Amino acid sequence: MMNILGIETSCDETSAAIVTDGITIRSNIVASQIPLHQRWGGVVPELASRQHIERLLPVIIEALEQAGLELTEIDGIAVTNRPGLLGSLLVGVCGVKSLAWVLGVPLVGVHHLDGHIASAWLAEPDIEFPFVCLLVSGGHTELVLVQNRRERFSLGRTRDDAAGECFDKCARAMGLPYPGGPAIGTSANFGLPDRIAFPRPLRDEGLEFSFSGLKTSLIRFLAEDQGKTPVEDIAASLQAAIVEVLVEKAFRAVKTVGVNTLCVAGGVAANQELKRQLIGRGKQAGVRCVTPAPILCTDNAAMIAAAGAVRLMAGERDAIQLDTMAGEPIPHLETVEL
């Protein structure tokens, strides 16, 4: 049995989790910084780092307490070391380096997106490989071919804004609170999705995405509309445009690579309408759709522990010099010989 401590501090959530054998979640504590950043309408990097410093030890202690474990019962540590806000990543990485050193346990650095992908097998332990992962978060929108627990290749990503970023920026323009995704999702429940025909960027073309034009189109609409259209109808119409593009592309990817399973991951995967449409379309197409619970979609350390477990359980470890990196794209399928 291997008890793994997972740590996530790449953006604005301080999280610690204990996952046993890479699959059983014993605890998954998330201290969100949403109230701290809300008044600025987005994440302020320096404030985020400072709050991670204050919260890192409390979330670790809470994760241990909830799992009913002593610190000495931890067998390995997995920490997000890339990509993300450098200051935020440094807090988690430096913090657990000393912990790993003192405890004498192996430490591995985890790519944040591998964490999001691992939510697939936390949600469904016997998930069939290979599968396509629709990774939709605040900073990324990408279709990934997941060959197995170690190998994954990008099939296409956004050329500009991420889907979550589009939700957040549009919500801000509409006067809705940060983060915009949940705010638009809730408002959309009371609106008409076909009231405004927003564009569906690149819907019928390839596996890349583009959301910045949609944001511009919404801003132009708001300026012309002068508050006449109910905000619920705008939210529902915008959500419909984003969801339609994501669903279309996800199923195009599944067809292109010929797999039977699709998983949606990342913060935007918490969107009810997206889940509903993916499951509906999956039933029609004979494709199994895995939709992890919202706590596994937004940033959390259980997914980081699950991703790190793949290497820790194989006896691998990173050197204590483990570095942080602001960016590291997933290699594209075309550049790799299979």
Binding residues (CB under 5 A) for Mg ion: these are: 137, 299
CB of 101 to ligand ATP, least distance (A): 27
Question: How many residues touch ligand ATP (CB under 6 A)?
Answer: 23
CA distance 247 to 67: 37
User: What is the C-alpha to C-alpha distance for residues 255 and 191, in angstroms, rounded to an integer?
Assistant: 32
Q: How far apart are CA 56 and CA 92, in angstroms?
A: 7
Name the residue nearer to ligand ATP (CB basis): 106 or 181. 181
Instruction: Kindly tell me which residue out of 6, 92, 156, 182 binds ligand ATP, with binding defined by CB under 6 A.
Output: 182
- For helices 272-285 and 180-188, angle between their N-to-C axes, nearest 10 degrees: 70
Minimum Å gap between C-beta 40 and ligand ATP is: 15
- Residue 113's identity, in one-letter code, is L
User: Strands 131-136 and 261-265, how do they pair?
Assistant: parallel
| Residue nearer to ligand ATP on the CB measure, 74 or 171 | 171
180 binds ligand ATP (CB under 6 A): yes
Q: Which stretch binds ligand ATP (CB under 6 A): 70-78, 178-186, 199-207, 223-231?
A: 178-186
Which of Mg ion, ligand ATP, none sits in contact with 180, Cβ below 5 to 8 A by type? ligand ATP
Q: How far is the CB of 216 from ligand ATP (least distance, A)?
A: 18
Query: Closest separation between CB of residue 304 and ligand ATP, Å?
Result: 11
Residue 6 within binding range of ligand ATP, rule CB under 6 A: no
Identified binder of ligand ATP from the candidate list 139, 156, 201, 308, rule CB under 6 A: 139
Exposure letters 224-258 (e unless 16+ CB within 10 A, then b): eeeeebebbbbbbbbbbbbbbbbbbbbbbbbebbe
- Taking the complex as a whole, the smallest distance from the CB of residue 295 to ligand ATP amounts, in Å, to 11
Of 255, 281, 277, 280, the residue nearest 268 (C-alpha): 277
Cβ atoms of 16 and 29 closer than 8 Å:
yes
Tell whether residue 211 is a contact of ligand ATP (CB under 6 A).
no
Nearest distance, CB of residue 110 and ligand ATP, angstroms:
12
To which residue do tokens 């996530």 refer?
Answer: 8
Segment near ligand ATP (CB under 6 A); pick from 57-65, 95-103, 133-141, 149-157: 133-141
For residues 119 and 104, what is the distance between their CA atoms, to the nearest angstrom? 28
- Smallest gap from residue 73 Cβ to ligand ATP (A): 29
Q: Is 112 in the site for ligand ATP (CB under 6 A)?
A: yes
Asked whether position 191 contacts ligand ATP by CB under 6 A, the answer is no
Shortest distance in whole angstroms from residue 47 CB to Mg ion = 18
Window 287-306: residues binding ligand ATP (CB under 6 A):
298-299
By the rule CB under 6 A, 271 interacts with ligand ATP = yes
Question: Which residues sit at the interface with ligand ATP, rule CB under 6 A?
Answer: 10-11, 84, 112, 137-140, 164, 167-168, 179-182, 185, 266-268, 270-271, 298-299
